[in-house]
Every structure is written in C-alpha cells, then in structure tokens.
Amino acid sequence: MRRQHAIDDSVLANLMTAMDLVVMERQRNAGSFRILNETPRWLQQLYPDVGSRLDTVQPGKIVPFLENFLIDAECFWDQRTETRLKSGAWSEGTRSDAESHLEATAMIVNGRNLLVIERLGAEFQSQHTVLQRAREHDLKFTKTVKKNERALANVGTQLQKSQAARDDLASMIDHLGLAAIITDMNGTITFISEPARTLLGLGRDGIIGTHWMNVSALEHRAQEALQAMIRQPQHRRTSVEVNVLTSDGKRSWIAIEIRDDPRETQRRMLVLRDVTEIHALRQMLNEKFTFHDLIGKSQPMQTVYQRLKDLAMVDTTVLIEGETGTGKELVAKAIHFSSKRKDHPFLAVNCAGLTDALLGSHLFGHRRGAFTGAIANHQGFFEAASGGTLLLDEIGDMPMTVQTSVLRVLQEKEILRLGDSKPRKVDVRVLAATHQNLNELVASEKFRADLLYRIRVARVHVPALRERREDIPPLVSSFLSQCCAATGKTVENVDPQAMRKLVAYPWPGNVRELRSAIEYSVIHAKTSGICDADLPPEIIESNPPDTTSSDTPLDEKRIVIAALEQTGGNRAAAARSLGIGRATFYRRLSALGIS
Amino acid sequence: MIQKKICMIGAFAVGKTSLVERFVTSLFSEKYHTTIGVKIDKKLIHVRDCDMSMILWDLYGEDEFQKIRASYLRGAAGYLLVADGTRAETLTKAVALQKFTEETLGKTPFALLINKCDLVNEREIDRNDLETCRQNGWRVIETSAKTGEAIEDAFLTLAADMLECDANTQ
Ligand SMILES: Nc1nc2c(ncn2[C@@H]2O[C@H](COP(=O)(O)OP(=O)(O)OP(=O)(O)O)[C@@H](O)[C@H]2O)c(=O)[nH]1
Ligand SMILES: [Mg+2]
C-alpha cells in the first residue's frame, strides 16, 4: 500500500506535468505554496520569478491575477463548502498567437489545500473559436440590421422628398400642357399628366395600373407601329402618329414619342402631342400644294392639279402645252403615276431633232436588216411602254411621216416595226407635249390636223413661272435642298434681297431656268445663305421689281380706291389720309390705272 | 513605485484590448480577436512627478455569453469604461456596467472612452448623450485605438485622477 502510494506519487507528478498542470500545496504561512510536481518550462518562461525551486513560492506576489484569485481561494479553503473553485481564464501580455491562457483551480484533496494552475489547450481554443464566431456573427448581424434600418429610414425620407418633388413636377407638367405618361417595365401606367388625360378623353381616375396600350382604342396597325418603335434603340426612335378613338368618342391624331427613362431603361416615358390639326393641314397641303413632283400652291397650279386628277381617272390622249421649261414632263409623269397605269412603264421620247427614220425606229422598233445598221430585231418605245404611258415630247417637231404612223397607232392600237409586215397590238396611253402653237403649225401645214384633233382630246396648260411667282420661294427651297444634297454644300437660305430679285425676274426659261439659277448660286455661295451677288449675272442685272406691272398687289389698288371713296373723290384728301404726298399719289393713281 | 490596478470594462468588440495594446505597444490590428477571461498587462508611466506601474486588466466584453465577475474588479484603483462610437447600444451597456462597477467597488475614478472615433461616417453615438454624461460629472474622452488619438491622454488622465483620489482619501 505504501509502495504503491510512492509509485503513484511520482507517476501522477509526471502525468500532471505532461498535462500542463502545476500543482501547489498551500503552506502554513499565508501566501506560500509548495510545488508538488516539476515546474514546467512554460511557467518559468511566463513567470521567471517562479524559479525552479520546488519548495516555496508566493504566486500572489508574482502573478497579479492570482493575487486576486487567492483572496477568493482562501475563503474557499476556509469554508470548505465546495470541492473546487475555478478562477476563470487569464492570459498575460499583449496579444500574440503564441499566447498562453491559464486557469487556476483551488481544491481540497485528502484534506490538503491545493492550487492547480493549468495551461489551457485545445478545448479552450475551440471554445474561443465558438465565442469568436458568435460575436462576429452578432456584430455583422446588428450591422446589417442597422444598415437596413438606415436604408429604410433613408428611403422613407427620400420617398417623402421625391413625393413632394413629384407633385411639383406633375403640376409643372400640367401647367406646361405636357401630355405625358410614364410606364413601368411592364408597360403599366404609373403616371399620367392632366393634359394627357384630356387628350385621350379620359376621366380623372382609374388609369394608373392599366397597360398603356389599352387606354384608348388603338388600331391594330398603330399598336404594331408602336411596338416596333419600342424595340428600336432610343436614338433611332421617331414619333409615331396614331389615329386614336378617344373614350369620349372623338377621333384624333396623336403623335407619340417613346423615351426611355434615363435612370431605368425598362421604364418608358411617353410624350403625346395632339397633331390632329397638323395632320389635317398636312393632308390639305399634300393635296393642294404639291402634286407628285410638281411644286406650287398658286391658283394656276391648283387648277393644273385638279385637271391632272381628272385626267388620271381616264385613259385618253392628253396634250400638255406650256412654255419651254415649265415642267411638262413632270405633268405627264403626274398623270401617269396617279393613273391606273402607274405600275407599268412611263417612257418619254423627245421628237425634236431626230430624222424620221431614226425617230420611227425609236418609236416603233425595227426588224433586223430594215436599214443599214439594223443588226438585230429592235423593240420600239410603244412596245416598251406596254401597259404604261408614252410621252411624245416636242410633238410639234415630229416629222410628217412619223406623224402618220403615230396617228395609225392611236387609231388601230397596233404598231408595225420598220421592215416588218406583221402589226403588233400595243396598249399604251399616249401623252403629247409641246411648247408650240399646234394650230399655227397645222395652218403652216407642218402638223397633221387629224393628229392634232386626235391628241387634243384633253389639254393641260402648264402656266409659265412668271404667271405663278408666289411658287418661286417654295420652288427655290426645294431646289436648294436637292442641290445641296447633290453638291454636298450646305446652303440653307436665300437672303431677302436675292429672293426679291428671284421673284421679280421674268424667267423666260421658266422652272428649268430657276433650277439652274439656284444651282449656279449654290456653287457661287460663300456662306450658308445665297445673297444677291451669288445669283447668275442676268438676274443680278435684271430690273428691280416693277411696280407698274400687272403684278402690283391688288391690295394697293383697293386701298387707294377705298381712300378716294371715303373722301368723296377728293384726291388731295385721299393722299393726306394715306400719309403720302400729292405728287406721289397722282403717280400711283396713273400707275394703278385709276382714273 | 506605486502599483495600480486598472480595469478595462465594456461591451464586446468596443476596442478594450486594442486600447491597451495601443497604449502599451503602440500597435494596432484590424483583426478582431475576442478576449476570453482576463488579459493582464503592465505599463510604467510617469504622472505628476510620480512613477506608476499600471496593471491593466483587460476584461472580456460582457454579453450573453460572458458576464463580468465582480471578483475581477476587486482592488481596482480606476477603470476605463469603453463604448464603441459606431454602436449606440454599447453606450447603454457602458452605463449599466458603470453602475455595476460602482456598486462593487464604491466610488472609483473612471473615464468613459468613446472609441473608434476615426469612423466618422459610421458614428452612431449622439453627442448630446455624451453631454448628459459629462453633466453627471463623468470624464468623457473620444479615442481611436486605430489612430492613437487621445489614448495616452485617456490613461494618463485616469492615472492623475487616481492619484488625486488617493490624496483626498489620505
Ligand atoms: N476603426 C477602429 N477600429 C477599432 C478601434 N479599436 C478597436 N477596433 C477594432 O474593433 C475590433 C474589436 O477590438 P478589440 O480591441 O478586440 O475589442 P474588445 O473590446 O477587446 O473586444 P472583446 O475582447 O471581445 O470584448 C477589432 O477588429 C479592432 O481592430 C478604433 O479605434 N478604430
Ligand atoms: Mg478584448
């Protein structure tokens, strides 16, 4: 028993050392302890004052933490109520990975008061890891919660702010009369301005939340056009004009511009404009002021347009008369392209300056070997224009022999190729144009009377440019843009002085001459505007507007007559009432032909 | 040489260990390494013509996992109550711990440190609340273990207060 105890003592001592434990027994004199096993190296390293002496140590003097713990330990040993008292972990020194964590335990074994100092190992580390994780998690969690709360609070105030800003903006939009709709990514309306409601004939409520396509009865085609436009990237989008049947039963034209919200590309802003009026005007303009490639809003041109529309309905031969350069070929084209023959060829042949054989061959074609150089069978204009329209320009210059053949074609509706004996059926509408007086040519026996009657079934007179001077500005601007496109120059306008000259010039060469004058001026222009000096010399040198001409505004005559009527024919009083001198007034009177 | 025990008290992760480390070694680490139990450090200072050995008791931060043991406070001549300026709840905790400490130790010199004052944008503790503390006679010092701001000041002020307290009681 004794032997075994001795063995146990040393074995246990080694075991305790191996387990990083130091066991001390409390001595009689307070604060002194005797180390029962070997002093481990780590303890000596940590507390060099401990020394290697096995007899007495005073840990409370060396280790401040133990000094504190021993106070509790003394009570524990005195009271003997519990089996042991733990100090809790402590460590020495500043933070380091090689840190030692220790714990002291006071216990009573076999009536002996023991103090055990333990170096905490793996178990402590895992406990630390768990606690570390728990705390980090806690920190992160509260941080997130707070961030969310802050964000929420932020959103709240921002919402309030933006609500206010939005209200301001909305009323501003209303005041500006801006018809606007904002939709979310699904096309659902999230905002609609008052003017937009009015435009679409909507009531005050119930639109937010509906799909914008369903707001008004859009035609299927319009819906498709809008969908296609949405698919385009923003920079390629143009406004789409749609015919809308508003919920209050009105039909209007609305131009819809689709924009992406710059902050949220899935969101759309639709800007609506009422273009009903513009649409009507444009339609009027289209109908009245231009006709195919013809430009002009003057009364004479209106008459021409009306006549052309009528002639497009029928299939007769038409004689187009007009000075050189008035645009007779354009008139012919206008007839063709507004007629039912428009999908078939339009051909024009100039009858002037060709020998009869050559013109005949051009018009009717020839058989191989019909004449020297006729190396192959050849189709003529009549056949080439099959189903369409053939313009015989300068028909007054057509040789007599060809006139006879043409007359035959018009009567028989068939042609005979030169050198051929077999006639061929042709279906061609013939239009003829001339700047000459065919009656006079008939009288001088240069034109067949029967052909004249045949082609003069219908007539169109194309007015000279000087008969429609008000069309000069629109013609000028049209030629300007065509010319700029062709030359690559950017000449945008004509200064007033130059325009006055252009309008006043007599234009013997008519529209053709005007066109080349503009081409000339564009080439000579040094700035983005045509000025006086850029015009062709004959126009620069032309006389300034002659007020005595028949072009004098009717208004002036009317004003003068009105002044005379008011003064009972008293010329001096009339002059005074008009604020001009008597001599001037007399001159005006004679100029205006008022006696 | 006089020796004084000073406790670092506060919620977890407010920077108690960092403050001590900064004060003792002038180092700072961004990494959070929570303290379990107590960490003891020493620092010799010279204050008011007096050499003092400060025994710094860096106590673990209190939370639901670890509660401060009253026995650890025993014998402290002063304490630094630490709160994290970016976490308002740590000031509440500091106030509660101050009450606990005073109940344990009796009236003892201390200072309230509002740490992490370098994190200006994350600031959560209201200056008005600090004003209230000051009006209650507390010493309030805004510190940063990261930049070192007011660290020396905090410890030396406390040391001076402790000396003054000694002088008064003698
Ligand atoms: N930016 C900044 N970070 C700090 C400051 N002081 C401490 N920290 C950081 O805050 C975290 C917690 O610091 P500790 O010193 O470990 O805090 P503690 O109060 O000792 O924490 P417990 O021991 O768990 O109670 C660490 O990541 C530190 O790097 C400071 O002044 N500024
Ligand atoms: Mg710590």
Q: A547: pLDDT confidence band, cut at 50, 70 and 90?
A: very low
Q: A288: pLDDT confidence band, cut at 50, 70 and 90?
A: low
- Which CATH architecture is the domain A177-274 placed in? 2-Layer Sandwich (3.30)
* Range with lowest mean pLDDT among A142-146, A150-154, A530-534, B56-60: A150-154
For residue B115, the ligand 1 atom closest to its alpha carbon is 31
CB contact under 8 A, A90 and B87: no
Structure tokens at A16: 């305790």
pLDDT at residue A552 in the model: 46
CB contacts < 8 Å between A and B, how many?
Answer: 75
Q: A424: pLDDT confidence band, cut at 50, 70 and 90?
A: very high
Query: Which segment, A17-21, A138-142, A499-503, A543-547, is predicted with the most confidence on average?
Result: A499-503
Q: A284: pLDDT confidence band, cut at 50, 70 and 90?
A: low
Say if ligand 1 is within 6 A of residue B16 CB: yes
Shortest CA distance from A71: residue in chain B: B71
Above 90 in pLDDT, residue A392?
Answer: yes
Determine the Cα–Cα distance for residues A185 and A526; give it in Å rounded to an integer: 52
CB contact under 8 A, A131 and B87: no
Write out the residue limits of the CATH 1.10.8.60 domain(s) in chain A: 465-549
Strands A458-462 and A414-415: unpaired
Average pLDDT over every residue of A512-529: 90
CATH of domain A293-461: 3.40.50.300
Average pLDDT over every residue of A221-232: 81
CB contact under 8 A, A68 and B71: yes
pLDDT at residue A4 in the model: 44
Which domains occur in chain B, in start order? 2-169 (3.40.50.300)
pLDDT at residue A281 in the model: 57
CA distance B145 to chain A (A): 14
DSSP string, A347-368: EEEE-TT--HHHHHHHHHEE-T
pTM of the model: 0.48
Write out the residue limits of the CATH 3.40.50.300 domain(s) in chain A: 293-461
CB contact under 8 A, A65 and B75: no
Contact A200, A215 (CB under 8 A): yes
Q: Measure CB to CB from residue A68 to each of B21, B27, B75 and give the nearest one.
A: B75
pLDDT at residue A579 in the model: 63
pLDDT at residue A8 in the model: 58
CA–CA distances in Å: residue A109 to residues A3, A15, A27, A341: 20, 17, 14, 127
Say how many Å lie between the CA of residue A127 and the centre of ligand 2: 15
pLDDT at residue A68 in the model: 93
Say if ligand 1 is within 6 A of residue B13 CB: yes
Say how many Å lie between the CA of residue B81 and the centre of ligand 1: 14
Range A527-544 burial, b when 16+ CB lie within 10 A, else e:
eeebbbebbbeebeebee
Say if ligand 1 is within 6 A of residue B86 CB: no
Residue of minimum CA distance from atom 3 in ligand 1: B116
Q: A5: pLDDT confidence band, cut at 50, 70 and 90?
A: very low
Contact A324, A335 (CB under 8 A): no
Above 70 in pLDDT, residue A37?
Answer: yes
Strands A264-274 and A251-261: antiparallel
Determine the Cα–Cα distance for residues B89 and B95; give it in Å rounded to an integer: 10
CA–CA distances in Å: residue B154 to residues B19, B112, B163: 10, 9, 14
CB contact under 8 A, B87 and A142: yes
Average pLDDT over every residue of A220-230: 80
| Whole-number percent of chain A with pLDDT over 70 | 86
Who has greater pLDDT, A40 or A59? Answer: A59
Q: B65: pLDDT confidence band, cut at 50, 70 and 90?
A: low
Strands in A136-187 per DSSP E = 179-183
Who has greater pLDDT, B112 or A232? Answer: B112
Above 60 in pLDDT, residue A445?
Answer: yes
- What CATH number does domain A2-120 carry, 2.40.128, 3.30.450, 2.60.40, 1.10.3470? 3.30.450
pLDDT at residue A328 in the model: 94
Say if ligand 1 is within 6 A of residue B20 CB: no
Who has greater pLDDT, A589 or A443? Answer: A443
Mean pLDDT of chain A: 82
Question: Complex ipTM, two decimals?
Answer: 0.91
CA distance A131 to chain B (A): 8
Strands in A110-178 per DSSP E = 112-119
Chain A hits for B17, CB-CB cut-off 8 Å, are: 95
Q: A6: pLDDT confidence band, cut at 50, 70 and 90?
A: very low
Q: Measure CB to CB from residue B21 to each of A88, A95, A136 and give the nearest one.
A: A95
pLDDT at residue A294 in the model: 86
pLDDT at residue A275 in the model: 76
Structure tokens at A237: 């989008």
Say if ligand 1 is within 6 A of residue B5 CB: no
Which DSSP category does A418 fall into? B
Q: A232: pLDDT confidence band, cut at 50, 70 and 90?
A: confident
CA distance A141 to chain B (A): 12
Above 90 in pLDDT, residue A272?
Answer: no
Residue of minimum CA distance from atom 32 in ligand 1: B116
Chain B hits for A127, CB-CB cut-off 8 Å, are: 36
Write out the residue limits of the CATH 1.10.10 domain(s) in chain A: 552-595
Q: A548: pLDDT confidence band, cut at 50, 70 and 90?
A: very low
Average pLDDT over every residue of B79-108: 94
Say how many Å lie between the CA of residue A95 and the centre of ligand 2: 9
Check whether domain A465-549 has CATH 1.10.8.60, yes or no: yes
Check whether domain A552-595 has CATH 1.10.10, yes or no: yes
Say if ligand 1 is within 6 A of residue B149 CB: no
